A and B are shown apart, each in its own frame.
Chain A
Amino acid sequence: MIKFFSKDFDLPITAAGQTFKKTFELDKSVKVITHYTILSNREDLAYYRGSFRLDINKDEIAPDGYSAKKVMCWASVPADQRLRSIGRRETGNGLINFEFTDTNDGLTVFQPYTVSLSVEGEREE
């Protein structure tokens, strides 16, 4: 039986102007990823300073340097439209590689923050 799956993976950003990488492992029952977005506890920092790279099962979803603001959701966007659709990506080995790059800019002052990769998909039971 196919059920809805949703999970957030956290990546702490602890230094300005650096790239942070993490590999997340999905549960084996998760078969397909359909949507994703980036959330943060400091939305302004992630929005103005962030770019990222994402691949699921070695399948490139977003290339290096893709701006976080392109997938971050606005408060004014309806809740059911906030995640970015990527079709049906099979999870395969279940590994999600996520790299987040912080870039110094003229609008914000760096403070440690956390970005979350939020994914939605389907799992089998």
Chain B
Amino acid sequence: MRARVIVKEITIRKQGEVQFFQIRLPKNAVRIIGVDSDIILISALEPQVDGGVRPDKENGVPPFVEVNRAPFLRGTTKSNPTIGKLKLQSLDRHNIFFETWLSFIYLNSSMPDMRYGLFPKSPYSLNRNSYPKPVHVPVNNMAINGLFTDAIGTRRQSDMIYKVKVFLWIETNEPATGVNYDFELKTNSH
């Protein structure tokens, strides 16, 4: 058994676009062990410094009440914009087995390591590298259906062009004695 990654790339061009896609798996796939994703913004993304406007209106007039989206420690952090929603479906499972909001992650948007070896790890003192979200879906069919719904274009009311990459970590029946990816071990411990 060993792990491999399947990369699927789709391009979103229109405001509110909904795109169906299919990810084909190799014949030696045994199960899906993790899902990861990435966004590549082709359109420029200007920061919304006003924090956005509430979508609700009074008497047809926007109230211009600012939603406070200023993050903690404003001077050093940026909020990562939500881009859209990803859903994955397998014929081997009822309904949808993976669903998440995808965010665009800025470089170094997280906070620095402030534990200095003195404090215990916590989400506020320490970040870590991204890992695939572990899932356990046996594979009998060689195709996974996906659905991506645009959200940032709808919110900004403009056509945002971006690429969405879906990384499907699968386990195959290839022989690879003693070889494991570190997150596989974490998956197995669940």
Residues of chain A within 8 A (CB-CB) of B43 are: 106
Q: Considering only CB atoms and an 8 Å cut-off, how many residues of chain A contact the other chain?
A: 33
Check B129–A74 contact: CB distance below 8 A.
yes
Check A86–B107 contact: CB distance below 8 A.
no
Residues of chain B within 8 A (CB-CB) of A73 are: 129
**Closest chain A residue, CB of each to CB of B44:** A106
Known pairs A76-B108, A85-B181, A104-B42 / 20 extra A-B pairs, C-beta < 8 Å: A43-B107, A44-B107, A62-B5, A67-B38, A69-B38, A69-B105, A70-B38, A70-B130, A70-B167, A76-B110, A76-B112, A86-B179, A87-B180, A88-B178, A88-B179, A103-B163, A105-B42, A106-B42, A106-B43, A106-B44
| 11 CB < 8 A contacts A-B | A48-B107, A64-B7, A65-B9, A66-B5, A70-B36, A78-B113, A81-B129, A87-B182, A88-B179, A103-B40, A104-B42
Check A85–B128 contact: CB distance below 8 A.
no
Check A81–B38 contact: CB distance below 8 A.
no
Residues of chain A within 8 A (CB-CB) of B167 are: 66-67, 70
Q: Which residues of B contact A (CB under 8 A)?
A: 4-7, 9, 36, 38, 40-45, 105, 107-108, 110-113, 126-130, 161, 163, 165, 167, 178-182
Q: What 10 A-B pairs have minimum CB-CB distances, sorted nearest first?
A: A85-B182, A106-B44, A87-B179, A76-B127, A65-B7, A67-B38, A47-B107, A87-B180, A106-B43, A106-B41
Question: Which residue of A47, A70, A75, A78 has the most chain B CB atoms within 10 A of its CB atom?
Answer: A70
How far, in whole Å, are A93 and B163 apart by their CA atoms in the complex? Answer: 36
Partner of A66, one of B7, B129, B161: B7
Residues of chain B within 8 A (CB-CB) of A48 are: 40-41, 107
Residues of chain A within 8 A (CB-CB) of B181 are: 85-87
How far, in whole Å, are A44 and B107 apart by their CA atoms in the complex? Answer: 7
Question: Which residue of A73, A77, A82, A88 has the most chain B CB atoms within 10 A of its CB atom?
Answer: A77
**Closest chain A residue, CB of each to CB of B162:** A106
Residues of chain A within 8 A (CB-CB) of B165 are: 65, 67
Check B179–A74 contact: CB distance below 8 A.
no
Residues of chain A within 8 A (CB-CB) of B40 are: 48, 67, 103, 105
Residues of chain A within 8 A (CB-CB) of B126 are: 76, 78
**Closest chain B residue, CB of each to CB of A68:** B38
Interface assignment of A1: CB less than 8 Å from any CB of chain B: no
